[in-house]
Every structure is written in C-alpha cells, then in structure tokens.
Structure 1
C-alpha cells in the first residue's frame, strides 16, 4: 500500500512539474482580411478551407473601397481587397499601401432602367447616372465617355454607393448606374434594369479589385505574405471551379438569392496572378487618374505593385 502511495505521489509530482515547465501551446496567428460587400469580394470567405495549421482567418467586410484602404493603412487589417482606384489614390498620396495580388477582374456593368428608352451609350446624355466617386467603375466610365466624345458634364452624376444602386434605380431616383456586382444582376432579375454594356473595351480591360497590405508587412513579415498569398491562390481557384459553392457562399455572406448570385458570377473572374499584361493595364489606369487630376503624381510602381511573393 505504501509503495502504491509513493508511486501515485511520484506520478502526481511529475505531472505537476510537466504542467509548469511545458510551454503553453501557441495561439494561432490571426490574419485579418478586409473585403467589400460584393460578390467579387467573396474569395476571403473561402480562405478557411486552405489556411495551414498555426493560422486563422478573420474576414472584416467594408461598405466602400476607401474604408477598406484606410483599414490597411491604419493596420486595422493585415490584408484588404477593394478596387484598384482606391489603392492608386492612396499610394499616389504617399500612403503606405502596396498591391500584392489581383482579386477580381470584371464585376462591372453600366445598367439602365428596363423601360428607360436608353439603347446605347450616347443616350446617357442628360440622364441621372449613379456613380461612386473614387471607384474603379468611375475611372472606367470616364474613359468610356472620352471614347464616345463625351465628358462627365454630359450626364447628371449622382453619388450612390454600390449597395444602393439597384434600389435607387428601382425607386426611380436615377436613370442608370455604373455598378458593381451583384447590383447589375439584382436589377436584371427584378426586371427593373438591363445591362447597357459591360465596360471592358477600354485599355483598362477587366482589371478591378486588388489585394493590398501595408508596406511594412512585406518588409517585416515576408513569410506571412507568402503564406497568405498561397491561401489566396487556392481559394480563388477553388471558388472559380465550384460555382454551386460560390453561389451558396454569396447567399450566406451577402444574402443573395441563388439566381442573382449565379447571374452575377457570370460577370466575375476571381483571380490571383500578377502578370505583365495586368501590370500594364494597371499603369494605364493610373495614367488616366493623373490625366484627370484625380491624383497629383503616379505611384512608384516599382514598390507599389509587389511581385516577389506572387505564387508561381
């Protein structure tokens, strides 16, 4: 009996010693990712499927591109996705924001009322057009106006956020809008709007949303950047290859009916790879912003677009 008591005491002492000396299991590194409340900002919601051990994803939705960019600049998030316009505006103003990957190409449309009688681009003259200032859509629309021999003064520009555009058209507050999915698909499915055109004929092409981070992050934590971009690559490819799951996720996170999400997905290309064509289009886009005095100088593209961490 004594031997048994001694054995139990010894085991208890050993267990206590181990509990004191063994290091506590390290908590997962939380990667905070900002995104927009749009279907072409859906990729971060698939990150959990591809996040390696030791990391955890927290997705934070934002209403506007500027909100997303500011969150990156203030380090409220580790990475943030929003339009190229907001990123370019920030970098040109000297803010420490850098692009580490594309997120989505496409996702834009110029929409008009179904019974508006507007049958071509020039017919927008004198009409109330919903536009979100500082957005990629605004810059592309200005380029389309130029191509048609028009200026912004030829339309009645109305400031409307992306999430409000479909509703504003349905109420009759505007005659059309330069929108982001799922707005165009909502208007079409409800039978109140029609796509006048997908504005991809400009040299900007389909370039739209980008993945950004603070300039400090790529310098001080390159390993985190590499890990994150591999997650982003896998999630982008998965979402594009599994339409039913993309539609389901859009319903769960954005509240979109399946028919709206499915139609919107036709106009969205989730992507991750930086190539020379994408860089050239992004630089052209910056030159447009400079020409229109939206920025005072071009960003330093050598540091603004970071290609060294892009998965192969």
Structure 2
C-alpha cells in the first residue's frame, strides 16, 4: 500500500483494484536482550527497509510511546533477507519486518516477538494491494475484471482450505511448512476493499506525509477503484 500511495502522490497513473493481504508484520528483538517493552528500545539499533509498510509501522510504534526515531533509537538499513543474520550476530537489537522472517527468528531461537504493530484507530492491518495502470482500466476493463475475479476466487479457495494454502506456499517459495504454519496466525489473505480499508489507507497516507515520505497525499477516490471487487461480493 505504501508504494501505491507514493506513486499516486507523484501523479503516477496507478489504481488499487483489490486488496492482497493483511497483517504479516512483527517487531522482533534479539533473544536474551532483556528488551521487554517498546520503551526498552531507547538507544538500540533497529533494522528496517526504507519506504516500506514496515518502516511506517515501526515509526508509528515508536511514536506511540514517545520515542523519536531520529534521537532516541538508531535505525539501520538492512535488507529483508539479512535481518535474521544481523539480529543473530548482534549487529542490530531488533527489526520490524514481514513474515515469515519474524517467525523464523523465534523458531530458530535467536529472536522474540515484542509486538504486532497494528493500530485499528489508524493504519490497522492493511498491507498489500493489486495495482493496475489507469489506462488499462479505461481501455480494457474486462481484462481487469477477469484479473480481479481470478484473485478473489483463488483467495476464497485458499481461505477455505488452510492446508492447501500453506502447502502450496511452501512449495512455491521454498519456506519450511512448519514455519508457515506458525506464521499463519499473523498472515491474512484478502481481496475486498470496504469502507474500513479506505479509511485505513487514508490514515496510512496521512502518516506517510507526517513522516516526510510523501510531499502531499493522493486523491484516495482516484487511487481506489472498488467496482471490480464489488462485483465479486455477491458471487
């Protein structure tokens, strides 16, 4: 979602036509570090990837307990797939990243989950969405409708059979099934974009502007096109 908002704020012709997933984020600390609360992160090194949903959630988490991400902690840029190694080696004290990395840290014994950074009074659990170009909708709405319909049907199928969802994900992405099974409590498949989704998207954009990640907020009515998911609602 963060990338969609960034692109739209620059005037790029992007449109969100469906949600893809919710949740999937966690704040992890090094096992045995003695860090038991968000406030304990003061003076510590925290791994993050700039410009992502995870950066926004990290900054929001810190701000809610009065920690300044510039003055009170050291934010360290670390690639997603290097975060586990950096935490285990002690190069960082914590990281905020997406699943299955947090769960891997726990199961492999070098990390503990400190928080799941979802704030229902603002950004909430929204995470990723399906983006198409505006001219694609204008020229080929039927293609977009078929694309969204395929996504909705696949999502509903996987939601109804968790075993199929996780086993297929394990095969396709090479992640151990046991890790995905443990991480699935923090992963949510999605497709609909209801009023709550739009409200949380706007809250995300507002936070991004406040953090200086975008100069202006986009027109959310133009960014979100709900006609395609609405057609699938009663199917």
Q: Do the structures match in fold with TM over 0.5?
A: yes
Query: Which is further off, 165-174 or 252-261?
Result: 165-174
Q: How many Å separate the matches in 1 of 2:189 and 2:168?
A: 14
2:52 pairs, out of 135, 147, 159, with 135
Q: How many Å separate the matches in 2 of 1:156 and 1:176?
A: 10
Q: What residue is the counterpart of 1:87 in the other structure?
A: 4
Within 5 Å, give how 1:61-72 maps onto structure 2. Answer: none
* Superposed CA offset, 1:157-188 (max 9, x none): 11122222222212222111001001001101
Measured after TM superposition, the shift of residue 308 of structure 1 is 1.4
Q: What residue is the counterpart of 1:12 in the other structure?
A: none
Q: How many Å separate the matches in 1 of 2:15 and 2:27?
A: 29
Q: How many Å separate the matches in 1 of 2:173 and 2:79?
A: 16
Measured after TM superposition, the shift of residue 198 of structure 1 is 0.4
Q: What residue is the counterpart of 1:161 in the other structure?
A: 79
Q: Between Structure 1 and Structure 2, whose CA radius of gyration is higher?
A: 1
2:139 counterpart of 1:220:
yes
Q: What residue is the counterpart of 1:105 in the other structure?
A: 22
Within 5 Å, give how 1:143-182 maps onto structure 2. Answer: 143-153=60-70, 154-182=72-100
2:120 counterpart of 1:205:
no
Gaps of 5+ in 1: 1-83
Measured after TM superposition, the shift of residue 239 of structure 1 is 1.6
Q: How many Å separate the matches in 2 of 1:250 and 1:295?
A: 34
Q: What residue is the counterpart of 2:166 in the other structure?
A: 247
2:193 counterpart of 1:193:
no
Q: What residue is the counterpart of 1:229 in the other structure?
A: 148
Q: What residue is the counterpart of 2:180 in the other structure?
A: 261
Structure 2 length-normalised TM: 0.94
RMSD of aligned Cα (Å)? 1.2
Q: How many Å separate the matches in 1 of 2:159 and 2:73?
A: 36
Q: How many Å separate the matches in 2 of 1:164 and 1:270?
A: 25
Q: How many Å separate the matches in 1 of 2:168 and 2:93?
A: 31
Q: What residue is the counterpart of 1:61 in the other structure?
A: none
Task: Describe the SS at the equivalent of 1:94.
Answer: coil
Q: How many Å separate the matches in 2 of 1:199 and 1:183?
A: 15
Measured after TM superposition, the shift of residue 98 of structure 1 is 1.2
Task: Describe the SS at the equivalent of 2:128.
Answer: strand
Measured after TM superposition, the shift of residue 300 of structure 1 is 1.3
Q: How many Å separate the matches in 1 of 2:87 and 2:155?
A: 31
Q: Which has the higher contact order (CA 8 A, sep 6+)?
A: 2
Q: How many Å separate the matches in 1 of 2:228 and 2:166?
A: 30
1:283 pairs, out of 178, 181, 202, with 202
Q: How many Å separate the matches in 2 of 1:167 and 1:244?
A: 29
Q: How many Å separate the matches in 2 of 1:94 and 1:217?
A: 16
Gaps of 5+ in 2: none
When the two structures are aligned, how many residues end up with a matched partner? 229
Within 5 Å, give how 1:51-66 maps onto structure 2. Answer: none
